[in-house]
């Protein structure tokens, strides 16, 4: 059978489509690719012209150089703070979201509006009062200050994500448990929370990523290197000592990205489902 002109045209369109998608995606990934490429080069190969995408010589030295006590401490600090904030914001967020979703009361919508609106509160303005508050409570230079700060700025999104999930969750299961004699608290803890695992994961990942990223609280509410989280520590230690060793710098950048990239690699589907379900609904 000969191929007709419209079919040829359609195939050409398809090819153009794939080509443009691939091009766009590749352009998006160039910075990450270049970061990886540079991180595996010996320093002398970094300054080649024209630039080499595949290194002539692959070395892991730049990574080995990062295994030092300072980066280890910063990583550990960030991990503790991010996990703490993720757990706190997600659990408290789930309680609030469930309350707004299942209790009929005036002001529920208003409360939601306030939570979402608080995302626009200027963080430096909040920090002024938080600083004085943490000084009074003796929380400066503790994990608690960072966990609380990160929880506060992420909890609105956590509530929003989880409320959308609960709104879409059919109530029959809960009503059955309620009729069977479980108290509302038990229904929440033993029926709702287990069903909400995907949404809880989405919220926790979101909080973790934001916390891992956060610079200002880290700079301001900690004062010693052994308490600093990654972004603040890198700014104050590594960047101060930087003298053009770009390959090592890129290895550092890769290592800082790895925890969140791994987290995302495994939970991407869960996370996207959580975020888009809420977003599209409104």
Partner 1 sequence: MFSIRRHPVFFVVLFAPALLLVGGLMLFPIVNGIRLSFTNASPLRAETRFVGVENFIYLFEDPRFWEVLGNTVYICGLSTIFCTILGLVVALLLDSGIRFVGFFRAAVFQVWVVPWIVIAILWGWLFNDEWGIVNQFLRSTGIIEGQMAWMFEPKLAPWVVIFAYSWRAVPFVMVIALAALQGIPKEVNEAAEIDGAGYLNRLRHITLPLLQNILLVAALLEAVRFLQEVTIPLVLTQGGPIGATNVLSLFTYKAAFTEWDFGLASAAGTVWLLFVIVFAGVYNRFLLRKSA
Partner 2 sequence: MANVQTRNIKKKYGSVEVLHGIDLEIEDKEFVALVGPSGCGKSTLLRIIAGLEEHSGGDVLIGGETVSDLTPKDRDIAMVFQSYALYPHKNVYENLAFTLRMRNTPKGEIDTKVRAAAEALNLTDYLDRAPAQLSGGQRQRVAMGRALVRKPKVFLFDEPLSNLDAKLRVEMRTEIRRLHQDLNATSIYVTHDQVEAMTMADRIVVLHDGDIIQVGKPMELYDAPATTFVASFIGSPQMNLFEGNLDAAGGHFHVSTGSSIRLGKQYRSEASVTLGIRPDDLELDASDAADIQGKIRVVEHTGGETLVFVDTPFGPLCVRAPARSQARVGDITGVKIDRERLHMFDASGLRMSAGGA
Q: Which is closer to partner 1, CB of 168 or CB of 268?
A: 268
In this chain, which stretch among 54-62, 63-71, 123-131, 195-203 interacts with partner 1, using CB under 8 A?
Answer: 123-131
Q: Which is closer to partner 2, CB of 1 or CB of 179?
A: 1
Considering the rule CB under 8 A, would residue 6 count as an interface residue with partner 2? yes
Considering the rule CB under 8 A, would residue 2 count as an interface residue with partner 2? no
Alpha-carbon gap, residue 42 to 130, rounded angstroms = 45
Token pair 């609960």 is found at 166
Contact of residue 59 among partner 1, partner 2, none (CB under 5-8 Å per partner type): none
Contact of residue 6 among partner 1, partner 2, none (CB under 5-8 Å per partner type): partner 2
Q: Which is closer to partner 1, CB of 186 or CB of 197?
A: 186
Contact of residue 252 among partner 1, partner 2, none (CB under 5-8 Å per partner type): partner 1
Reference 101, options 161, 182, 190; nearest CA is: 161
From 7, 8, 128, 189, residue interacting with partner 1 (rule: CB under 8 A): 128
Interface with partner 1 in residues 129-188 (CB under 8 A): 129-133, 148-149, 151-153, 155-156, 159, 171, 174-175, 183-185, 188
Reference 149, options 127, 165, 182; nearest CA is: 127
Q: Cα separations (Å) of 169 from 101, 183, 209, 218?
A: 10, 19, 26, 37
Alpha-carbon gap, residue 144 to 130, rounded angstroms = 12
Q: Cα separations (Å) of 207 from 41, 155, 165, 203, 279?
A: 34, 8, 17, 6, 17
Token pair 């959580």 is found at 274
Token pair 């790895």 is found at 258
- Which DSSP string corresponds to 156-204? HHHHHHHHHHHHHS-SHHHHHHHHTT--HHHIIIIIIHHHTHHHHHHHH
Q: Which is closer to partner 2, CB of 2 or CB of 240?
A: 2
Interface with partner 1 in residues 44-83 (CB under 8 A): 46-47, 49-51
Considering the rule CB under 8 A, would residue 189 count as an interface residue with partner 1? no
Contact of residue 38 among partner 2, partner 1, none (CB under 5-8 Å per partner type): partner 1
In this chain, which stretch among 1-9, 96-104, 185-193, 203-211 interacts with partner 2, using CB under 8 A?
Answer: 1-9
Q: Are 251 and 63 in contact (CB under 8 A)?
A: yes
From 5, 110, 120, 280, residue interacting with partner 2 (rule: CB under 8 A): 5
What's the min distance (Å) between Cβ of 21 and partner 1?
5
Considering the rule CB under 8 A, would residue 4 count as an interface residue with partner 2? yes
Provide the token pair at 79. Answer: 């991990």
Query: How many residues of this chain interact with partner 1, rule: CB under 8 A?
Result: 91
Per the omega criterion (within 30 degrees of 0), is the bond before 50 cis? yes
Write out the residues near partner 2 by the rule CB under 8 A.
Answer: 1, 4-7
């Amino acid at each position: 059978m000969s191929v007709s002109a419209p079919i040829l045209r359609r195939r050409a369109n398809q090819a153009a489509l794939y080509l443009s998608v691939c091009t766009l995606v590749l352009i998006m990934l160039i910075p990450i690719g270049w970061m990886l490429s540079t991180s595996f080069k010996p320093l002398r190969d970094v300054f080649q012209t024209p630039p080499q995408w595949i290194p002539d010589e692959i070395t892991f030295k730049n990574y080995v150089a990062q295994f030092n006590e300072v980066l280890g401490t910063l990583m550990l600090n960030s991990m503790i703070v991010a996990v703490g904030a993720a757990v706190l914001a997600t659990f408290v967020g789930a309680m609030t979201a469930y309350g707004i979703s299942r209790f009929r009361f005036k002001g529920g919508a208003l409360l939601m509006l306030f939570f979402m609106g608080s995302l626009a509160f200027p963080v430096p303005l909040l920090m002024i009062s938080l600083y004085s508050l943490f000084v009074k409570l003796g929380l400066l230079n503790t994990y608690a200050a960072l966990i609380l700060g990160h929880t506060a700025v992420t909890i609105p999104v956590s509530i929003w994500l989880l409320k959308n999930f609960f709104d879409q969750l059919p109530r029959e299961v809960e009503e059955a448990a309620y009729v069977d004699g479980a108290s509302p608290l038990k229904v929440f803890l033993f029926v709702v929370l287990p069903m909400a695992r995907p949404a809880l994961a989405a919220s926790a990942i979101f909080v973790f990523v934001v916390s891992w990223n956060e610079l200002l609280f880290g700079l301001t509410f900690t004062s010693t290197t052994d308490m600093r989280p990654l972004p603040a520590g890198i700014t104050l230690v590594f960047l101060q000592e930087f003298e053009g060793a770009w390959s090592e710098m890129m290895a550092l950048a890769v290592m800082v990205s790895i925890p969140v990239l791994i987290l995302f690699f495994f939970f991407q589907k869960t996370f996207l489902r959580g975020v888009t379900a809420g977003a599209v609904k409104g």
